Amino acid sequence: MRTVDVKQGILSKNDRLARKLRQRFEEAGVYVLNMVSSPGTGKTELLQRTLKELSEAGYKVAALVGDLQTDNDAKRLQKSGVPVRQITTSGLCHLEAQMVEEHLADWNLADYDFLFVENVGNLVCPSSFDLGEQLRIALLSVTEGEDKPLKYPPIFSSAHVAVITKADLAEACEFQAESAYENLQSVHPNITVLTTSARTGLGFLEWLDYLTQQRRAWLDELKGAAV
Amino acid sequence: MSVHELSIARNIVEIVSQVAMEEKSPRVSVIHLQIGALSCVVPSALEFAFEVASQGTPTEGARLQMECMPVVVHCDSCETEVALESPQSFRCPRCAQPTPTLVSGRELEISRVELEEEPICAHG
């Protein structure tokens, strides 16, 4: 019997590929966002309105949409008139960097300002898999209960921003915004929290502002690094 | 079982099988893993997934020895690294200040493996 040191990350293959993707995104100047949440939080609804409003504001946007079995979400999103591709994972509960790479295929990334990746609806599995994104967005809907962040700390602690969705239903669900905010801060101190309703457009000014500012700051940083 | 444990198990099998091949070992007996408290891995689910993924490889039958790693943060007030009691509360256990700076706790690492030797051929 012999002991051999390995000291290797179990997901090092995915991490390597994600780093390559991140570099590719940087070279193309496309800001990539990874949206994670449990099923039914309203990722597609939020994305649909976001794609529409960003493209109306003159931004070039595209989306990759992960789903276990169907291409319903991609069909819904294609209505917004922007390029959308479905990644069907055939039962796999999360997206991996390789799937993103495969589905980018012939897209010329330099043509886009934003690329949204809608992960598979799941609050556990996607957290360990880097997709090369610049921003990870965790969604929490008012219908889910304020304690979701405490139940799933890894995903909320790995996200850069938390977006509360379906805010138009907050009153009907007796959603305690303060408590949700406290729980988010508990698992991720100083996390930015935005509140939206894709149905009514509530909070969208701030949300779109946030996205465009983040992208601008990222581009400035890239320029700074290149000098 | 959430299926990401299967992805993780497949990655373990791939990496460790490669090590066994390079080391010319026919069989792996123990795989030592470091699993962070923020890694989302359920040990029993990983063991089950590993049993499935390792079949027909040099890692089949190997034992997974998992070391659970705490969430460690840097507390700016105490100017030191501290382990959190729970990932639900990112507050310094000493001074109760919020501690957003994560030092470790997301580990998913293979630290070392125990390999069996090739039987020496008596007629060689």
A142 touches A197 (CB < 8 A): no
Q: Which residue of A has its CA nearest to B84?
A: A187
H-helix or E-strand containing A31?
strand A31-36
Per the CB < 8 Å rule, is B38 touching A3?
A: no
Edge-first strand listing for the sheet containing A84-88: A84-88, A61-67, A114-118, A31-36, A135-141, A161-165, A192-195
Stretch A82-96: mean pLDDT: 90
Q: How far apart are CA A16 and CA A188, in angstroms?
A: 26
What pLDDT digit, counting tens, does each position of A37-47 carry? 999 999 999 99
What pLDDT digit, counting tens, does each position of A30-88 carry? 999 999 999 999 999 999 999 999 999 999 999 999 988 888 888 888 888 899 999 99
What pLDDT digit, counting tens, does each position of B40-63 carry? 899 999 999 999 999 999 999 999
- Residue A123's alpha-carbon distances to A149, B75, B84, in angstroms, are 10, 27, 22
The fraction of chain A above a pLDDT of 70, given in percent, is 100
Compare A70 and A101 and report the one with higher pLDDT: A101
Q: State the smallest CA–CA distance between residue B69 and chain A in angstroms.
A: 14
* DSSP letters for A128-173: G---S-SEEEEEEETTS-TTHHHH-HHHHHH-SEEEEE-GGGTTTT
Amino acid present at B106: R
CATH code linked to domain A12-220 = 3.40.50.300
Where in chain A are the domains? 12-220
- Nearest Cα to A120, choosing from A40, A207, A193, A12? A40
CATH 3.40.50.1360 fits B4-116, yes or no: no
- Chain B residues with beta carbon closer than 8 angstroms to that of A4: 19, 23, 112-115
Q: Which residues from B are below 8 Å from A when comparing CB atoms?
A: 2-4, 7-8, 11-12, 14-16, 19, 23, 25, 29, 33, 38-40, 87-91, 98-100, 102, 106, 108-117
What pLDDT digit, counting tens, does each position of A126-158 carry? 899 999 999 999 999 999 989 999 999 999 999
Three-class SS string for A84-125? EEEEECCCCCCCCHHHHHHHHCCCCHHHCCEEEEECCCCCCH
Which residues are CB-contacts of A227 (< 8 A; sequence separation ≥ 6)? none
Q: Which residues from A are below 8 Å from B when comparing CB atoms?
A: 1-14, 91-94, 96, 122, 124-129, 150, 153-155, 157-158, 185-190
- Nearest Cα to A19, choosing from A164, A131, A162? A131
What pLDDT digit, counting tens, does each position of A169-196 carry? 999 999 999 999 999 999 999 999 999 9
Pair type for strands B80-83 and B72-75: antiparallel
Interface test with A, best of B82, B90, B117 (most A CBs within 10 A): B90
- Nearest Cα to A150, choosing from A188, A114, A106? A188
Q: State the smallest CA–CA distance between residue A184 and chain B in angstroms.
A: 9
Angle between helices A43-56 and A204-226 (to 10 degrees): 70
What is the band of B124 on the pLDDT scale with cuts at 50, 70, 90? very low
Of A11, A12, A125, the CB nearest to B2: A125
pLDDT at B33: 98
Average pLDDT, chain B: 93
Q: How far apart are CA A56 and CA A50, in angstroms?
A: 10
Answer yes or no: is pLDDT of B123 > 80: no
Per the CB < 8 Å rule, is B3 touching A10?
A: no
- Chain A residues with beta carbon closer than 8 angstroms to that of B116: 1
Q: State the smallest CA–CA distance between residue A162 and chain B in angstroms.
A: 15
B8 touches B42 (CB < 8 A): no
Answer yes or no: is pLDDT of B122 > 80: no
Answer yes or no: is pLDDT of B105 > 80: yes
pLDDT at B2: 61
pLDDT at B121: 65
pLDDT at B23: 96
- Residue B76's alpha-carbon distances to B21, B79, B91, in angstroms, are 46, 5, 11
Per the CB < 8 Å rule, is B3 touching A128?
A: no
pLDDT at A124: 87
Interface test with A, best of B1, B2, B3 (most A CBs within 10 A): B3
Enter the tokens of residue A187.
């698992």
Where in chain B are the domains? 4-116
Global pTM value: 0.93
